[in-house]
């Protein structure tokens, strides 16, 4: 399975090379599996060093070693930890500059397989100098500026080199600037330093400068920075690379929110065991959070409308079972039961939408402790929509199952191939020894088949092989029975839990099925007869502890005896 997956990913990587898209796949332990040529072109620091099984942290170590300035190197371990976390949790694309290129990276999970990252170059180079306010790049549409001035949040517009070309009044007020001329041609880091002028050694300034440098490398991810006077701003970038390369930074004053958050943290510090409940609700706030007491929903976050289409008031007072697909209810109940011995429980199930359809979700549940005597424990469940991921996993599983089926099937006859037979023989032989039941093997060879090819041609010979394979499948009707093409004109029947007496009866059935074949359908003259010789072996007639290969060896010897004694017969090895 792993080899087929790697081959499939390598094929995808080669295809992406043709459109200059880099790919690198990692397993569930964040170890490298497959990468393509475009990956090494965009990240030449990995050429000759990246290897299968290499931890992603080592990949990041080379990446940061090639781009950090000396003053930043002491923080490399922190950058690596943050990079690994970003790799594991990324849900949306972002951009960054690397070796004079601007790249956009996207990442997606492959269920139990791991995660794939892809990169696309969106610019050939990144300018290092400001083009000047009189240049075309620095000009800004007056109509656009009038519209953006009406926005209450700060707006900063930069060119493809991250040099400021315009800012609205709200932005200037946030950062203590009087006119837009004061910021034109500056990068945002310099604007931020000027806002802290005279207070650069403040801990908040130093920490936020590090945050700023790190997040500016990965455009699109929101981040927060502090300003003098215990003020805070959340920054979100939208890069307009498809038009003119400009970046639009939205700066939202979140000072009030941060103070409220601090007040909430202070309150939580005084709230003893109830702190756990607040923490759970806060950390799961991005998804649907459900709280239940005695199996009844007492709280559900507003995100339930976006994820499942339900209004919160329509959910409160109902049980979780009423939203669970009937086929998944037992599995969910078993997962929740595990909370008696484990701190958390994870499960997947289909959840009922308000429109009557079901959608796949992923859930994590935890039981909180009562904060007061007599209060009931609360079950808190975080729910996330994984419909798109599940569809991708199912599609990949279908492709892999199809590839596995192809790899185990003989292309000419449609029965199992020798590889599949040897796997089944090893499995069934172990089971036969463990459960003390007999295992039978029939080795079947077409008599004088070479003369069929020589006289009527290989096309007719192929038709004969297909017909005989079809006849053999009529003999094996039980689950676990295997019919396989062993090689050339030889077939093998593996019959678990079949005694020596039943083995001989099975051989007779094979003869009857072959004799019943229509010569004309196979392209042979009506008078032609197709016969087979059969060698039979059975573990019940072998010394205890015999190997699986002994079963094949004895059947082959018996087949040789059948050929020697005149063909068209079955000979047992005992």
Residue 30 phi, psi dihedral angles, 5° rounding: 65, 35
Between 131 and 205, the more confident residue is 205
pLDDT band at 280 (very low <50, low <70, confident <90, very high): low
Domain boundary among 65, 91, 123: 123
Examine the pLDDT at 554 and tell me if it is beyond 70. yes
Same domain as 88, residue 8: yes
- Whole-angstrom distance, CA of residue 73 vs CA of residue 66: 10
| Of 95, 61, 65, 75, the residue nearest 210 (C-alpha) | 75
Whether residue 559 sits in one domain with residue 493: yes
Question: Residue 379's closest CA among 289, 318, 284, 306?
Answer: 289
Together in a domain, 34 and 117: yes
For residue 416, what pLDDT is reported? 93
Task: Compute how many other C-beta atoms are within 10 angstroms of the C-beta atom of residue 353.
Answer: 15
Helix and strand numbers, DSSP H then E, in the chain: 19, 20
**Same structural domain, 334 and 471:** no
Task: Mark whether 361 and 462 lie in a shared domain.
Answer: no
Least confident range of 184-198, 203-217, 317-331, 446-460: 203-217
Q: Could you tell me if 163 and 294 lie in one domain?
A: no
Shared-domain flag, residues 81 and 164: no
Q: Beta 378-385 vs 94-98: how paired, if at all?
A: unpaired
36: helix, strand or coil: coil
Residue 192, domain member (yes or no):
yes
Question: In which element (H, E) is residue 464 found?
Answer: helix 458-473
The domain spanning residue 496 has which CATH number? 3.30.70.270
Domain end (from 359, 390, 421): 390
Q: Are residues 443 and 370 in the same domain?
A: no
Same domain for 455 and 505? yes
Q: pLDDT at position 390, please?
A: 82
Within 10 angstroms of residue 82's Cβ, the number of other Cβ atoms is 15
Mean pLDDT of 194-218: 82
Mean pLDDT confidence for 286-311 = 88
| Rounded average pLDDT over 261-289 | 63
Q: Which residues contact 93 (CB under 8 A, 6 or more apart)?
A: 104, 105, 106, 220
Average pLDDT, the chain: 86
- Asked whether residue 153 is domain-assigned, the answer is yes
Residue 134 lies in a domain: no
The pLDDT value given to residue 274 = 53
Question: How many domains are there within the chain?
Answer: 4
Quick check: 418 pLDDT over 70? yes
Residues annotated catalytic, as ranges: 489
- Alpha-carbon gap, residue 152 to 170, rounded angstroms: 6
Q: How confident is the model at residue 134 (pLDDT cuts 50, 70, 90)?
A: very low
pLDDT of residue 285: 56
- 551 and 441 in contact (C-beta within 8 Å)? yes
Q: What percent of the chain has pLDDT over 70?
A: 89
Buried b (16+ CB within 10 A) or exposed e, 407-427: ebbbeebebbbeebbbebbee
Question: 69: pLDDT confidence band, cut at 50, 70 and 90?
Answer: confident
Phi, psi of 485 (to 5 degrees): -85, 120
pLDDT category at 124 given cuts 50, 70, 90 is low
Question: Is the same domain home to 243 and 322?
Answer: no
Q: 330-338: list long-range contacts, CB under 8 Å, 24+ apart.
A: 332/363, 335/365, 336/365, 336/379
**For residue 270, what pLDDT is reported?**
62
Contact predicate 524/475, CB 8 Å? no
Q: Which of 129-138, 169-178, 246-255 has the lowest mean pLDDT?
A: 129-138
* Cα angle: 161, vertex 162, 165; to 5 degrees: 105
Residue 512 has pLDDT above 80, yes or no: yes
**Would you say residue 165 lies in a domain?**
yes
Residues 159 and 73 in one domain: no
- Residue ending a domain, among 205, 239, 257, is 257
pLDDT of the residue at 137: 42
What's the whole-number mean pLDDT along residues 128-139?
A: 49
Q: What is the largest CA-CA distance in the chain?
A: 108
- The CATH number of residue 108's host domain is 3.30.450.20
The radius of gyration of the chain from alpha carbons, rounded to an integer in Å, stands at: 35
Asked whether residue 425 is assigned to any structural domain, the reply reads: yes
- Residue 285 vs residue 409, higher pLDDT: 409
Structural domain contains residue 396? no
443, 557 contact by CB (below 8 A): no
Report the percent of the chain where pLDDT is more than 90: 50
Tell me the residue range of the domain where 228 lies: 142-257
Look at residue 266 and tell me if it is in a domain: no
Angle value at C-alpha 65, between 61 and 68, nearest 5 degrees: 125
Q: Residue 328: which pLDDT band, with cuts at 50, 70 and 90? A: very high
314 and 366 both lie in a single domain: yes
272 domain-assigned: no
* Contact by Cβ (8 Å): 441, 492: yes
pLDDT at 136: 38
Report the range of poorest mean pLDDT among 66-75, 350-359, 398-407, 516-525: 398-407
């Amino acid at each position: 399975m792993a080899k087929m997956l790697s081959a499939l990913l390598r094929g995808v990587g080669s295809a992406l090379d043709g459109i200059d898209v880099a790919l690198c796949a990692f397993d569930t332990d964040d170890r490298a599996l497959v990468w393509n040529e475009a990956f090494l072109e965009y990240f030449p620091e990995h050429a000759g060093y990246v290897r299968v099984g290499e931890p992603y942290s080592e990949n990041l170590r080379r990446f940061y070693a090639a781009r950090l300035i000396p003053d930043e190197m002491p923080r490399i371990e922190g950058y690596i930890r943050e990079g690994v976390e970003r790799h594991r949790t990324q849900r949306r694309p972002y951009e960054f500059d690397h070796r004079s290129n601007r790249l956009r990276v996207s990442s997606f999970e492959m269920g139990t397989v791991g995660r794939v990252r892809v990169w696309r170059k969106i610019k050939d180079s990144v300018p290092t100098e400001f083009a000047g306010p009189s240049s075309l790049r620095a000009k800004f549409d007056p109509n656009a500026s009038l519209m953006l001035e009406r926005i209450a949040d700060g707006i900063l517009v930069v060119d493809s080199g991250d040099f400021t070309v315009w800012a609205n009044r709200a932005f200037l007020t946030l950062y203590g600037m009087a006119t837009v001329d004061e910021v034109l041609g500056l990068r945002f880091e310099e604007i931020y330093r000027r806002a802290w002028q005279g207070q650069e050694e403040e801990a908040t300034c130093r920490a936020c400068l590090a945050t700023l440098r790190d997040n500016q490398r990965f455009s699109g991810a929101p981040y927060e920075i502090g300003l003098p006077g215990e003020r805070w701003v959340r920054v979100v970038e939208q890069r307009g690379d498809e038009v003119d390369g400009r970046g639009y930074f939205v700066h939202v004053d979140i000072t009030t929110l941060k103070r409220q958050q601090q007040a909430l943290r202070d309150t939580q510090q005084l709230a003893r065991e109830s702190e756990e409940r607040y923490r759970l609700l806060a950390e799961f706030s991005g998804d649907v959070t459900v709280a239940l007491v005695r199996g009844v929903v007492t709280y559900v976050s507003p995100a339930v409308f976006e994820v499942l289409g339900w209004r919160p008031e329509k959910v409160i007072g109902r049980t979780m079972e009423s939203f669970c697909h009937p086929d998944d209810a037992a599995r969910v109940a078993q997962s929740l039961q595990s909370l008696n011995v484990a701190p958390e429980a994870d499960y997947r199930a289909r959840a009922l939408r308000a429109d009557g359809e079901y959608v796949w979700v992923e859930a994590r549940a935890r039981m909180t402790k009562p904060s007061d005597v007599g209060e009931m424990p609360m079950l808190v469940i975080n729910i996330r929509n994984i419909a798109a991921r599940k569809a991708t996993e199912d599609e990949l599983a279908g492709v892999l199952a199809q590839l596995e089926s192809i790899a185990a099937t003989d292309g000419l006859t449609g029965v199992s191939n020798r590889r599949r037979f040897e796997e089944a023989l090893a499995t069934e032989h172990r089971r036969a020894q463990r459960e003390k039941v007999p295992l039978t093997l029939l080795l079947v060879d077409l008599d004088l088949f070479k003369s069929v090819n020589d006289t009527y041609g290989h096309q007719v010979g192929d038709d004969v092989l297909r017909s005989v394979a079809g006849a053999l499948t009529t003999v094996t009707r039980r689950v676990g029975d295997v019919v396989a093409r062993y090689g050339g004109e030889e077939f093998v029947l593996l019959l678990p839990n079949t005694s020596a007496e039943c083995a001989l009866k099975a051989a007779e059935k094979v003869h009857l099925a072959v004799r019943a074949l229509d010569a004309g359908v196979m392209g042979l003259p009506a008078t032609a007869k197709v016969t087979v010789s059969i060698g039979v072996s059975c573990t019940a007639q072998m010394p205890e502890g015999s190997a699986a290969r002994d079963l094949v060896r004895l059947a082959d010897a018996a087949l040789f005896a059948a050929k020697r004694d005149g063909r068209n017969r079955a000979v047992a090895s005992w």
